[in-house]
Copies of this chain bind each other. A is one copy, B any other.
Amino acid sequence: MAGILYMIPCPIGDFDHPYEVLPATNGEIMQRLDYFIVENSRTARRFLSRANIGRPIEELELAECNEHTHPKELEQLIKPLLEGRSAGLISEAGVPGIADPGADVAALCHRRGIRIVPLVGPSSILLALMASGQNGQSFAFNGYLPVKPPERDKAIRRYELRAQTEGQSQLFIEAPYRNVKLFDRLLTLCHPGTLLTVALDITMPSESIRTAPIQEWRDAPPPPLDKHPAIFIIGSLSSHPTSHHTGPDRKFGQNKRNPKKVLPIR
**A→B interface (CB under 8 Å):** 7, 12, 19-25, 66-72, 74, 91-101, 103-111, 115-118, 120-147, 168, 173, 175-176, 202-203, 207-212, 229-231, 240-245, 248, 250-253, 256-258, 260-266
Most B CB within 10 A of own CB, among A105, A135, A139, A176: A139
Most B CB within 10 A of own CB, among A70, A131, A135, A212: A131
Which 4 residue pairs spanning A and B have beta carbons closest together?
A107-B133, A94-B266, A106-B133, A98-B136
Q: How many copies does the complex hold?
A: 2
Give complex CA distance A21, B74 in Å.
30
Q: Chain B residues near A258: list those with CB within 8 A.
A: 143-146
The answer to whether A71 touches B266 (Cβ under 8 A) is no
The answer to whether A69 touches B252 (Cβ under 8 A) is yes
Contact A262:B99 (CB < 8 A) given known A67-B251, A141-B138: yes
Q: Chain B residues near A231: list those with CB within 8 A.
A: 265
Contact A240:B107 (CB < 8 A) given known A70-B251, A266-B91, A266-B100: yes
Contact A143:B138 (CB < 8 A) given known A120-B21, A245-B71: yes
A131 contacts which of B24, B116, B212 (Cβ < 8 Å)?
B116
The answer to whether A143 touches B134 (Cβ under 8 A) is no
Residue of B nearest to A207 (CB): B117
Q: Chain B residues near A71: list those with CB within 8 A.
A: 241-242, 244-245, 250, 252
Nearest CB of chain B from residue A92's CB, rounded to whole Å: 4
The answer to whether A138 touches B142 (Cβ under 8 A) is yes
Q: What are 22 A-to-B residue pairs whose CB atoms are below 8 Å? A: A12-B266, A22-B120, A66-B252, A71-B244, A71-B245, A72-B248, A93-B264, A95-B130, A97-B136, A98-B126, A98-B130, A99-B266, A100-B262, A104-B241, A111-B242, A117-B209, A123-B123, A124-B266, A126-B126, A138-B140, A229-B263, A231-B265
The answer to whether A130 touches B118 (Cβ under 8 A) is yes
Give complex CA distance A134, B173 in Å.
19
The answer to whether B12 touches A19 (Cβ under 8 A) is no
Q: Chain B residues near A109: list those with CB within 8 A.
A: 133
- A-B contact sample (16 more), CB < 8 A, given A98-B130, A117-B131, A144-B260: A21-B25, A72-B248, A92-B264, A95-B130, A97-B130, A99-B137, A103-B134, A104-B252, A106-B130, A107-B243, A108-B133, A111-B242, A118-B209, A120-B127, A124-B266, A138-B141
